[in-house]
Structure 1
Amino acid sequence: MEQEIMVSISCLVYNHAKYLRKCLDGFVMQKTNFKFEVLIHDDASTDGSQDIIREYEEKYPDIIKPIYQTENQYSKHISIGKTYQYPRLKGKYIAFCEGDDYWCDDHKLQKQFDIMEMNSDCSMCVHRVQDVSECGELLNKFRPFDEPVLNKFDLNEYLKFISNGKFHPFQTSSYFIRREVYEKINMDTPDYAKISKVGDVIIVLTSLTIGKIYYLSAVLSNYRICSVGSWSARLKKSNDSIVLNENNMIDVLESFNEYTKFEYDELLNEIILSKKLSVYILTERYKLLFEKSNRKLLKKLSYKERLFYFLMAYFPWLMSKYLKIKGG
């Protein structure tokens, strides 16, 4: 009797030839007591990525299961996950890793699988991730930047955690979720998920509406910074991209607040305020910081920062001279 597939790995590839072997090796080296599959979606790569995938497909036909696009689907605004990945997955659990990142522990899947099997109240398991440079050098930088005190947390505890630090603390190559989470996102899609331009955040938020998240402090994968075609590289192109992303997250969080019937209103509004603060500063709309309705924003700034933005808002000519002198 053929063994049932327990874990489906979703791997999205686009022009990742430079890094792809490292990624695929991280999959096929996994040592597990269960069967798993790797669902690769290549979005019409032009750099030889498809040749590399075919090589691994031929060598590991029971594991590597690719789709080779001839036209780029992302540029057509087609949801890759919903259209191509979700319909073919067979696993009880789903893990994620894009083609430029890689897993560095050959028991990663087994460790997360065991945790989820032992913690039925958890809908997701994540772990610590170490950054690597575009050329593969290990960096002294980890995600999350600040580790959570708890190793298991619910939505309320998660919102408290991110309200004091980075909004998106966990990296996608660490995601390991129950199938029910992906089903909810793709089959019974909540409004907050429909408007989001970032799928990673939606996976976390949706997981927390179903159960808790379990956090492993061990480094089991690596995240490549600013690789060709990556989200981080696209965001670095201009402030405009960052502003669009921040405004979209504000919309998502406001919609999520409605979805959760405002049960977490105070925490969500604190996070939304932080994002508005970021947008006002990036777009140089400093006067908005000093409006009565935005007094809470000022509390997030130091006295020195408040003074700086006050002068930028009301005495721009003076600050222009000061910055010119300071810059030499």
Structure 2
Amino acid sequence: MNLEKKVLDMQSNSLPYLAVYMITYNHSKFIEQTIESIMNQTTNFDYKLFIGEDFSSDDTRAICKRLKYKYPDKIDLFLNDTNLGANVNARQIFKACFESGAKYVALCEGDDYWIDPLKLQKQVDFLEDNKDYVLCFHPIKILKQDGEIVDDFITNVPQDYETIETLARLGNYIHTPSVVFRNVIKELPFEFQLTPIGDYFLYIILAQYGKLKCLEEKMAVYRYNVGVISKMSNLDIANNNVKMYSCMIGYIKNENVKKIIIEKQIKVVTGHYKMIKATYDDAFISRHFIFLKIKKIAFFSKNPKLFWKRVKKKFQF
């Protein structure tokens, strides 16, 4: 089929050829730039943006509605009546993307944005030409809170990155706004509903269907230290990882991959225990009466006049 006929066939179909997944909550400072960067894509195929607006307390909803009015045929806007939370909001938007009839799904959350107008075209072209790959991603730039845009200092893509075994063993090295994948998932598994970390679990699911490809160009920007996870304590992060690995173990059938995930879970649980124990020990020691006596002696050694004043008052001389 020549390109012209292919484009005409896609245009005659009311369903999008590619669905863009987005969830947003309290992103009023960023959401317009994010959506416009998606609307500015140049492609020879149809695409549609599916937004889950999770009852924001700022102007995010109003901005989304205004842009929906501006691009009525390119945006499907889901306005939640209450704050569903990231997990439930994500599931409904993934469901809409999977059921849209799209051949591919791209990811971009409400605080990131794309910087190459040919990003989708390049990624779809690669997947069209390489049927053994299920997902492609690319390097990103990072926007720091002071406004400086720098190269990625968060992740390192390993040399042997293409397989599910590497992804399971080394953890997530894929940034969300860089992802385009084949729409091969009929329905997200039950375990996905329980995981506090959805993107990595999603990539593990997809990696069962084919290889992963990292393109060379930097085509998106990730905002650093804006999201909820970036503000969590080490103990909270460890707790989320324990929950995520528990969900993965219940889902994964491949014995080699399951073994890798179990070993990682044991390592996280051990580290989790050490953090809790250290916190408990510090709290116990700081409240122990001997420790308190030592603190009091140290205080009075620096304030002898106050010490003698207390002694005179106690013994009334």
TM-score higher than 0.5: yes
Where do residues 100-119 of structure 1 align in structure 2 (5 Å cutoff)? Answer: 100-119=111-130
Partners of 2:24 and 2:147 in 1: how far apart? 18
Partners of 1:137 and 1:216 in 2: how far apart? 24
Q: CA deviation at 1:194?
A: 4.2
Partners of 2:91 and 2:206 in 1: how far apart? 17
Q: CA deviation at 1:254?
A: 3.1
Q: Structure 1 stretches of 5 or more lacking a match?
A: 287-316, 322-328
Q: Counterpart amino acid of 2:195?
A: S
Partners of 2:34 and 2:183 in 1: how far apart? 23
- Percent of counterpart pairs with the same letter? 24
Alignment match, 2:311: none
Q: Rate the CA distance shift 1:140–1:21 in 2: closer, same or farther, 3 A.
A: same
Match of 2:241 among 242, 246, 251: 246
Contact 1:123 1:212 (C-alpha < 8 Å) held by counterparts? yes
Partners of 1:212 and 1:37 in 2: how far apart? 25
Q: Secondary structure at the match of 2:61?
A: helix
Q: 1:154-184: CA deviations, max 9, x gaps?
A: 2124334x1xxxx222111112111113x24
Partners of 1:274 and 1:129 in 2: how far apart? 29
Partners of 2:246 and 2:41 in 1: how far apart? 39
Match of 2:95 among 64, 86, 91: 86
Partners of 2:260 and 2:147 in 1: how far apart? 38
Q: CA deviation at 1:133?
A: 1.9
Where do residues 120-139 of structure 1 align in structure 2 (5 Å cutoff)? Answer: 120-134=131-145, 136-139=147-150
TM-score by length of 2: 0.76
Q: Secondary structure at the match of 1:18?
A: coil
- Once superposed, what is the RMSD of the aligned Cα atoms? 2.7
Higher mean C-alpha deviation, range 199-208 or range 240-249: 240-249
Q: Counterpart amino acid of 1:148?
A: P
Alignment match, 1:260: 253
Where do residues 58-207 of structure 1 align in structure 2 (5 Å cutoff)? Answer: 58-74=69-85, 79-87=88-96, 89-134=100-145, 136-142=147-153, 145-150=155-160, 153-160=162-169, 162=170, 167-181=171-185, 183-185=186-188, 189=189, 192-207=191-206
Contact 2:21 2:93 (C-alpha < 8 Å) held by counterparts? no
Q: 1:80-104: CA deviations, max 9, x gaps?
A: 2333442363311111111111111
Contact 1:122 1:213 (C-alpha < 8 Å) held by counterparts? yes
Contact 2:50 2:76 (C-alpha < 8 Å) held by counterparts? yes
Partners of 1:239 and 1:150 in 2: how far apart? 28
User: Which structure has greater strand proportion?
Assistant: 1
Q: 1:22-75: CA deviations, max 9, x gaps?
A: 201210111111110011111111211122112222222221221222311118
Q: 1:194-237: CA deviations, max 9, x gaps?
A: 4322211221110011211111232111111222xx2324xx24
Q: 1:91-142: CA deviations, max 9, x gaps?
A: 1111111111111111111111011111111111111122212454313434
Q: Secondary structure at the match of 1:214?
A: strand
Q: Rate the CA distance shift 1:246–1:156 in 2: closer, same or farther, 3 A.
A: closer
Match of 2:229 among 229, 232, 235: 232
Contact 1:246 1:279 (C-alpha < 8 Å) held by counterparts? no
Alignment match, 1:279: 272
Q: Rate the CA distance shift 1:232–1:197 in 2: closer, same or farther, 3 A.
A: closer
Q: Whose Rg is larger?
A: 2
Contact 2:44 2:121 (C-alpha < 8 Å) held by counterparts? yes
Q: Counterpart amino acid of 1:168?
A: N
Contact 2:168 2:261 (C-alpha < 8 Å) held by counterparts? yes
Q: Rate the CA distance shift 1:46–1:104 in 2: closer, same or farther, 3 A.
A: same
Q: Secondary structure at the match of 2:199?
A: helix
Alignment match, 1:40: 51
Q: Secondary structure at the match of 2:216?
A: strand
Q: Rate the CA distance shift 1:276–1:217 in 2: closer, same or farther, 3 A.
A: farther
TM-score by length of 1: 0.73
